[in-house]
Amino acid sequence: MDRRVHSGILAAALVTALAVPAAASPHEDQGMLAAVQRHLGVTEDQAIARLAAEQRASETDRELRKELGDRYAGGWLTRDGTTLVVGVTDDAAADSVRAGGAEPRLVEHSESELDAVRSTLDAQRTRAPKTTASWYVDVTTNAVVVNARAVDAAWRFVRASGADTSAVRVVRSDESPRPLIDVVGGNAYYIGAGTRCSVGFSVNGGFVTAGHCGRAGSPTAGSNWVAQGTFRGSSFPTNDYAWVETNGSWNTLPNVNNYAGGSVNVTGSQVAGVGSSVCRSGRTTGWRCGTVQALNVTINYAQGPVYEATQTSACAEGGDSGGSFISGSQAQGVTSGGSGNCSFGGTTFFQPVNETLSRYGLTLVTG
């Protein structure tokens, strides 16, 4: 399950139900380095270089976005994670990107134009066939990508929506995303009589998790079935975020379980760009890493759409819902759902934590 986060409280007993690593620097958390090495198939030196480059790239991309305005067409990291590429719509903007230390890519559509196409599809979501899994702005190909099991039906939806078809690509996909909820007994935290989810991030007064895990007013218990708190806010579908106010028996901690015998500190919530490495933590499958594939994704769940999610290659399974996604030491979001599992892989989505924090006026607990 998944929901956004703005402030969180994790008790010591809850840390084992979370998996959101946060380190003061990419070099300091050996658990994260090992996970990036294992899941991305790189050496320790390559992992260190990648994490450092990602941090620099995030800062550079943020500045270039401000400077270029409507000429900006998105930023992403190359496959090895060491080079920031920025799409631009004219040569003058390309010169600015080079001056900023990044590699320019001249493209046809600006990010704002692609966002407008995605918004058009969002507005017509009720007309989307069930065989259409998701759509998002893919900055690496300068198009809005529609993933669908039935390509012809997806194209009919796109044309009927009134969206600019020249900026759309329909991709054949077997994905059928569903919220990652487990209605079974086990570890992590429980909602009501037995629904199980994973804690996201600690906030002042409680923690954030996925909206599909529980509704406002639902009671929660820790992994030891000790009374824990109450859902104070929840939204699903449209969004997939929630927050739980914990009682006085639970302490809020600025770290999460790395499932390697330790935990990592969360130091902030700076957004990681496309191509960045990202790791997630959840009670069912522990600590898993991958890369960010797309931002602002619309997930077409059977229960209804969830907007502005982030798509990743990190795997997840039922019961991981609501768990932490982190890049370096920066909190990214909470697990919403996906396709596949950790045996053969798949796509996993999270809802960015900053929206959740803003929506409920919460503040992350950081170390």
Q: Which of 7, 276, 321, 336 is catalytic?
A: 321
**b vs e for 191-219, b when ≥16 Cβ sit within 10 Å of the residue's Cβ?**
beeebbbbbbbbbebbbbbbbbbbeeebe
The single-letter DSSP state of residue 306 is E
User: What sections of the chain are H helices per DSSP?
Assistant: 30-40, 44-68, 91-99, 111-123, 151-161, 353-360
240 labelled catalytic: yes
- Read off the tokens for 1: 């399950």
CA dihedral 3, 5, 8, 10 (to 10 degrees): 40
Q: Which of 212, 269, 327, 329 is catalytic?
A: 212
Q: What is the per-residue DSSP string for 271-290?
A: PP-BT-EEEEEETTTEEEEE
306 pairs with which residues across the strands? 238, 299
358 labelled catalytic: no
Rounded distance between C-alpha atoms, residue 288 and residue 35, angstroms: 7
Rounded distance between C-alpha atoms, residue 118 and residue 116, angstroms: 5
Q: Across the chain, which distance is largest between two alpha carbons, in Å?
A: 61
Pair 215, 235: CB distance under 8 Å = no
Residue 233 phi/psi, 5-degree rounding, is -155, 145
User: What sections of 134-221 are H helices per DSSP?
Assistant: 151-161
58 labelled catalytic: no
Q: Which of 61, 138, 182, 240 is catalytic?
A: 240
Residues belonging to the active site: 212, 240, 321
